[in-house]
Structure 1
Amino acid sequence: MARRALILVEGHRSIGPLYVNAARRLGLHPITLSADPARYDYLVAAESLEAVRVDTGDLDALIRECSRLRASYDIAGIVGLSGDDESIYATAAKLCQYFDVPGPNPASIERCCDKFSQRRLLEEAGVPIPAYRLAANAADVENSAAEIGLPVIVKPAAGTGSGGVRLCRNMDELAEHTIYLLGEKDLWRSSPRLLIEEFAHGQQYSVNTMGNEVIAVGEVEFYGPPNFVVCNSMYPAILDDYKYRIIEDASLSCLDSLDLGWGPANIELRWTKRGPVIIEVNPRLPGWTTPQLIELAYGVDPIAEHLNLAMGQEWDFRRRHSHTAAARFLVPERDGVLDWIEGDSLAASIPGVAEIRLYAESKSPIVRKGDFRDTIGHVIAVGASRAETEAILLRAIGLIGWSITPFPTLGE
Structure 2
Amino acid sequence: MARRALILVEGTRNTGLLYIQAAQRLGLYPIILSSDPARYDNLGAESIEAIHVDTDSLDALIRECSRLRAAYDIAGITSSAESFYATVGKLCRHFDLPGPNPASIERCCDKFAQRELLAGAGVPVPGYRLAANTRDVERSAAEIGLPVIVKPAVGSGSRGVRLCRNIDELTEHTTYLLGGKHVWRSSPRILVEEFAQGPFYWADIMGNELVGIAAADFGPPPHFVFRECTCPAPLTDNEHKRIADVSLSCLRALSLGWGPTNVELRWTKRGPVVIEVNPRLAGSPVPELVLLAYGVDLIAGHIKLAIGDEWNLSRRHSHTATVQCLLPDRDGTLDWIDGDNLAAAVPGVAQAKLFVTPETPIVRRGDYTDKIAHVIAASPTRAQTAAILQRAVDLINWSITPFPTACEREQYAAPYLPD
Name which of structure 1's ranges 73-82 and 272-281 shifts more when overlaid on structure 2: 73-82
Question: In the alignment, which residue of structure 1 is the partner of 2:239?
Answer: 243
Percent of paired sites with the same residue: 66
Question: In the alignment, which residue of structure 2 is the partner of 1:216?
Answer: 212
Question: In the alignment, which residue of structure 2 is the partner of 1:98?
Answer: 94
Q: Distance in 2 between matches of 1:211 and 1:391?
A: 35
Q: Does residue 1:150 correspond to 2:150, yes or no?
A: no
Name which of structure 1's ranges 332-341 and 6-15 shifts more when overlaid on structure 2: 6-15
State how many pairs are aligned: 408
The answer on whether the counterparts of 1:20 and 1:30 sit within 8 Å (CA) in structure 2 is: yes
- Identify which of 203, 210, 223 aligns with 1:207: 203
Letter in 2 for 1:68: R
Q: Does residue 1:386 correspond to 2:382, yes or no?
A: yes
The answer on whether the counterparts of 2:176 and 2:182 sit within 8 Å (CA) in structure 1 is: no
Q: Does residue 1:120 correspond to 2:119, yes or no?
A: no
SS in 1 for 2:366: coil
Question: In the alignment, which residue of structure 1 is the partner of 2:158?
Answer: 162
Q: Does residue 1:66 correspond to 2:65, yes or no?
A: yes
The answer on whether the counterparts of 1:294 and 1:302 sit within 8 Å (CA) in structure 2 is: yes
Letter in 2 for 1:308: K
Letter in 1 for 2:20: V
Question: In the alignment, which residue of structure 1 is the partner of 2:78?
Answer: 79
1:362 is displaced (CA, Å) by 0.6
Q: Does residue 1:267 correspond to 2:263, yes or no?
A: yes
Structure 1, unaligned stretches of length 5 or more?
none
1:192 is displaced (CA, Å) by 1.4
Question: In the alignment, which residue of structure 1 is the partner of 2:368?
Answer: 372
Q: Does residue 1:306 correspond to 2:305, yes or no?
A: no
The answer on whether the counterparts of 1:13 and 1:41 sit within 8 Å (CA) in structure 2 is: no
SS in 2 for 1:158: coil
Letter in 2 for 1:29: Y
Q: Does residue 1:191 correspond to 2:187, yes or no?
A: yes
Alpha-carbon distance change, 66 to 410 in structure 1, aligned in 2, over 3 angstroms: closer
Q: Distance in 1 between matches of 2:227 and 2:186?
A: 34
1:206 is displaced (CA, Å) by 1.1
Letter in 1 for 2:75: A
Letter in 1 for 2:49: E
SS in 2 for 1:265: strand
Q: Does residue 1:355 correspond to 2:354, yes or no?
A: no
Alpha-carbon distance change, 11 to 191 in structure 1, aligned in 2, over 3 angstroms: closer
The answer on whether the counterparts of 2:78 and 2:88 sit within 8 Å (CA) in structure 1 is: yes
Q: Does residue 1:55 correspond to 2:59, yes or no?
A: no
SS in 1 for 2:322: strand
Matches within 5 A, 1:227-242: 227-242=223-238
1:48 is displaced (CA, Å) by 2.2
Question: In the alignment, which residue of structure 1 is the partner of 2:413?
Answer: none
SS in 2 for 1:128: coil
Q: Distance in 1 between matches of 2:165 and 2:217?
A: 19
SS in 2 for 1:123: helix
Q: Does residue 1:292 correspond to 2:288, yes or no?
A: yes
Alpha-carbon distance change, 87 to 345 in structure 1, aligned in 2, over 3 angstroms: closer
- Identify which of 253, 258, 282 aligns with 1:257: 253
SS in 2 for 1:214: strand
The answer on whether the counterparts of 2:243 and 2:272 sit within 8 Å (CA) in structure 1 is: yes
- Identify which of 155, 167, 171 aligns with 2:167: 171
1:189 is displaced (CA, Å) by 4.1
Q: Does residue 1:9 correspond to 2:9, yes or no?
A: yes
Letter in 2 for 1:2: A
The answer on whether the counterparts of 1:59 and 1:91 sit within 8 Å (CA) in structure 2 is: yes
Letter in 2 for 1:7: I
Q: Does residue 1:398 correspond to 2:401, yes or no?
A: no
Letter in 1 for 2:62: I
1:11 is displaced (CA, Å) by 2.2
SS in 2 for 1:14: helix
TM-score computed with the length of structure 2 as normaliser: 0.95
Q: Distance in 1 between matches of 2:172 and 2:304?
A: 47
1:39 is displaced (CA, Å) by 1.3
Letter in 2 for 1:53: H
Q: Distance in 1 between matches of 2:406 and 2:321?
A: 45
Q: What does the per-residue CA deviation read over 1:261-295, in whole Å, with 9 as the maximum and x for residues that have no partner?
A: 10001000000010000000001001120000000
1:41 is displaced (CA, Å) by 4.3
Structure 2, unaligned stretches of length 5 or more?
409-419
TM-score computed with the length of structure 1 as normaliser: 0.97
1:187 is displaced (CA, Å) by 2.9
1:186 is displaced (CA, Å) by 5.5
Q: Distance in 2 between matches of 1:211 and 1:314?
A: 12
Q: Distance in 2 between matches of 1:251 and 1:54?
A: 36
Alpha-carbon distance change, 411 to 232 in structure 1, aligned in 2, over 3 angstroms: closer
The answer on whether the counterparts of 1:87 and 1:110 sit within 8 Å (CA) in structure 2 is: no
Q: Distance in 2 between matches of 1:368 and 1:411?
A: 15
Letter in 1 for 2:22: A
Q: Distance in 2 between matches of 1:377 and 1:233?
A: 14
